[in-house]
Structure 1
């Protein structure tokens, strides 16, 4: 046995410290495009391969499906994160047009059989975000023996300008997501992953993307399971029903006045990508509750030679022929806080002269629309005017209209019309990692805000520390549920040590797992609001594109 003297001990300690600041190489991997080298995470648990090009896009493929990924000679150093696709931030436009990069995180401990794969689609209202480790650190999940994949996709006008012509058919950002999932199918085995056991998951706009992929023929065979967190393709903010009109409104901010798709394309195609991304036009307010996000996924036209993502409304597809894919659907208990936080007294009071209805409804007469709008107002506010004095009431309305009811309606359609196992949950925990609730300034309100569940699944650089044992328990619950579902198709398999059995739904009466310090199974969270909105949508849902 050998000894280290006091100077040797100092040298070893110094070496260990230095190693944390110097990338240690991960094993080289041979994929279809060439050879990759990666790095080992600072804690030694993960092989990281980041910033790999999974497809190509530039000014020539702008607004269209991406091109094939590049190949290379020699070894590609997959060690540098790319921030993301172009987006308009407080600091101006950041990101480059050549942004279609994917990150693969592999458990460093060898395994005799292939790993289950979890592919995450980031949120950000289809205008912001990226797949990097600022928020989506993979450590919590990778330590539970799965491969985690994250990626960037085009955002804003570059990803979601929809003119329904060959040059700009729409849904380029969703087509990027399809390209990433195809890349995983071709290459993940080289990292030790199982291409036949891929779970796609996402939150907010990422969850809505997952929901749209569940409705799309283009994604068939690309994943086995799905987790949809706080988003749905049935929400009134998921689909742009008048994309050409929206595009026309956008170019007015540059001094143009046309609704012709070809002319609109010529205008957009000649702009620098930074100028396109910097567009800050606002939708004109009308009587209905509408998102102020300008460019969203759309229903495409059938164009020869172009594979569409969507050629009908998602509701029409999943109510008739949904995929037989096992799905977890969930919400947070106080989703609307993130929306309420964006309001001020002036914007709130404007709601008093507008309908508290989604723009995805269709009424035979104006009087009937007004009658239903008044019914909703009375349900949430009684005879009172809407003001910031009614924060709880406003938040409940936003939670139900934008997140809770669309998610429930979609889950019910899958239970009713498919052979899928469908699990439903409510994330109700409030702890020190509820980052978005703190950001909303309504941290004294009960429950969890939209997006709070993310910080109990990912250990991103934005929130790297865990401050108490209660948070650690919730992290263990969430990551166990998610990885068990990815590995076995069951969040609580018989061999798990979790203190509850989470059963899939068997009929239209959904049972939810309430995730808090104490786990429980119970009925839906807002039954009275559910029956109000169900009656409205059953009678007035707009099935026309």
Structure 2
């Protein structure tokens, strides 16, 4: 009897060491198999090619998804698009893979949540390093995540048909079309897809909401710490940026056709490494990132952005439920690389992006003086006032653009528009703890809400009881929104009120949940007035 028990226990132990196959699924491309999660609660189908790309399709929309014979083993999720990491350049150009995580026992058809990863459009992936599915799939939704091309490979925009721009966004559109075609085979409901993303992923979601190319591809959208109205969302001078980037490699090229010829010949490793000597925060500040752009129109080439997002959201906004969020200390991430040199540049320059237009340099300088006085009084920008600089970055880059977009949509559509403000300081605020010099600052840094939504291979610490409550609350509200379009139908201890056309309402997500008014109202009004007067609504 004891021997039999030992055999059973050993068998159960051994089963946990070997991936158990998930049910086979037949999609348009062929048959694929996945694996069962370690705890048996969900099925994983990872590393599925949803489109293809190679050096011949650089800077263009991806090619169709490949087909196969036999059974494709969808068990390898370690794919990345080319990018720089602490371990060097990783990834391959043919990187367009999608991951599908399906609750094993939930009743079909299931709501679908499609996540777009962040990383300033130059790093990141849809794999389990950050985007672990466990918290969400236990709420009876299917989670889908995917890669898209980054950096020059995804966002070189030269205004010519060979490099029209937004290849990375076109990858995202291809992934959403793949979901529409295939998710029913996994038990998902193609008519109930919610897209969501963080940082550059959140801005991508906002851009996809604005785009005509995505009509019918999703039912709801959640924008975390991003906005298509942010001053870093759009490249207003993409040819100049492309020229500056290769100048660091020793090339003096300015014409679009010659730039295309050069970019086509450079290895993806060279393209990735061109800007790695500059911190991401400085790439954003000084406008040397290759970002989404407004595309020129070419016969037979589908564009994702035919106009500035502000104009698209004004002319024909999608009438779908929307949710926006930001954290209260976003800027902590962006003051890490400040030096005496950057302090001097800030004291002698402006913080304005290319999305503002001034009649004269004097006008811009006078407004910059008022902004500095608002945040710093009569003090200089220095290490002494660095937390005030953090506040400026918080408001300018994330908080105010998200509020302005939510306000604009609430006044334009009939569907509900929700906003929350994440202030929670807990044991899973990994960005603040692991990547900034300010781990003990109270509040939530940029990206600190991620690990209250996802499990992660880079943060394997035990979850304490307080953090578990936050995980449960946040994932319940997000999945409720994906299921019903209402984040608090009945099982959260507060009624989350959406914005009205005349009143902004925010759910404050901290140690407690509570409704409140606009955060930092004076800063909101400062930047709102600036953008109302100086926002650029045309692109050369």
Query: Partner of 2:125: helix, strand, or coil?
Result: coil
Query: Partner of 1:438: helix, strand, or coil?
Result: helix
Residue 499 (structure 1) aligns with: 493
Q: Is the 8 A contact 1:289 1:358 kept in 2?
A: no
Q: 2:306 aligns with which of 305, 308, 311?
A: 311
Residue 78 (structure 1) aligns with: 74
Residue 197 (structure 2) aligns with: 202
Q: After superposition, what is the alpha-carbon deviation per residue over 1:497-520, rounded to whole angstroms, capped at 9, x for unaligned? A: 210111211124311000112110
Q: Are 1:452 and 2:448 counterparts?
A: yes
Residue ranges of structure 1 left out of the alignment (5+ in a row): none
The 5-angstrom pairing of residues 523-534 of structure 1 reads 523-534=517-528
Q: After superposition, what is the alpha-carbon deviation per residue over 1:32-52, rounded to whole angstroms, capped at 9, x for unaligned? A: 000010000001111000000
Q: Is the 8 A contact 2:195 2:218 kept in 1?
A: yes
Residue 426 (structure 1) aligns with: 421
The 5-angstrom pairing of residues 134-149 of structure 1 reads 134-149=129-144
Find the aligned partners of 1:479 and 1:423 in 2 and give their Cα distance: 15
RMSD after superposition = 1.7
Superposition deviation, residue 148 in structure 1: 0.2
Compute the TM-score of the two structures, normalised by the length of structure 1: 0.96
Residue 59 (structure 1) aligns with: 55
> Cα gap change, 1:229/1:291 in structure 2, threshold over 3 Å: closer, same or farther?
farther
Q: After superposition, what is the alpha-carbon deviation per residue over 1:397-434, rounded to whole angstroms, capped at 9, x for unaligned? A: 00001001111111111011122210000011000000
The 5-angstrom pairing of residues 94-493 of structure 1 reads 94-111=90-107, 113-280=108-275, 290-439=285-434, 440-493=436-489
Find the aligned partners of 1:466 and 1:282 in 2 and give their Cα distance: 36
Residue 544 (structure 1) aligns with: 538
Find the aligned partners of 1:517 and 1:340 in 2 and give their Cα distance: 26
Question: Aligned pairs, how many?
Answer: 536
Find the aligned partners of 1:333 and 1:57 in 2 and give their Cα distance: 39
Query: Partner of 1:520: helix, strand, or coil?
Result: strand
Query: Partner of 1:25: helix, strand, or coil?
Result: coil
Superposition deviation, residue 203 in structure 1: 0.2
Q: Is the 8 A contact 1:356 1:377 kept in 2?
A: no
> Cα gap change, 1:282/1:542 in structure 2, threshold over 3 Å: closer, same or farther?
farther
Superposition deviation, residue 467 in structure 1: 3.1
Find the aligned partners of 1:197 and 1:181 in 2 and give their Cα distance: 12
Tell which deviates more after alignment, 366-375 or 154-163. 366-375
Find the aligned partners of 2:327 and 2:134 in 1 and give their Cα distance: 23
Query: Partner of 2:21: helix, strand, or coil?
Result: strand
Find the aligned partners of 2:65 and 2:75 in 1 and give their Cα distance: 18
Superposition deviation, residue 373 in structure 1: 0.5
Residue 33 (structure 1) aligns with: 29
> Cα gap change, 1:260/1:358 in structure 2, threshold over 3 Å: closer, same or farther?
closer
Residue 509 (structure 2) aligns with: 515
Q: After superposition, what is the alpha-carbon deviation per residue over 1:16-69, rounded to whole angstroms, capped at 9, x for unaligned? A: 222122100000000000001000000111100000000000011111000000
Find the aligned partners of 2:340 and 2:79 in 1 and give their Cα distance: 35
Superposition deviation, residue 293 in structure 1: 4.5
Find the aligned partners of 1:277 and 1:289 in 2 and give their Cα distance: 16
Q: Is the 8 A contact 2:198 2:226 kept in 1?
A: yes
Query: Partner of 2:78: helix, strand, or coil?
Result: coil
Query: Partner of 2:302: helix, strand, or coil?
Result: coil
Query: Partner of 2:22: helix, strand, or coil?
Result: strand
Superposition deviation, residue 456 in structure 1: 0.3
Find the aligned partners of 2:220 and 2:195 in 1 and give their Cα distance: 6
> Cα gap change, 1:73/1:384 in structure 2, threshold over 3 Å: closer, same or farther?
same
Superposition deviation, residue 443 in structure 1: 2.1
Tell which deviates more after alignment, 10-19 or 469-478. 10-19
Tell which deviates more after alignment, 55-64 or 466-475. 466-475
Residue 529 (structure 2) aligns with: 535
Superposition deviation, residue 523 in structure 1: 0.3
Query: Partner of 1:26: helix, strand, or coil?
Result: coil
Q: Is the 8 A contact 2:79 2:97 kept in 1?
A: no
Find the aligned partners of 1:59 and 1:527 in 2 and give their Cα distance: 49
> Cα gap change, 1:400/1:312 in structure 2, threshold over 3 Å: closer, same or farther?
same
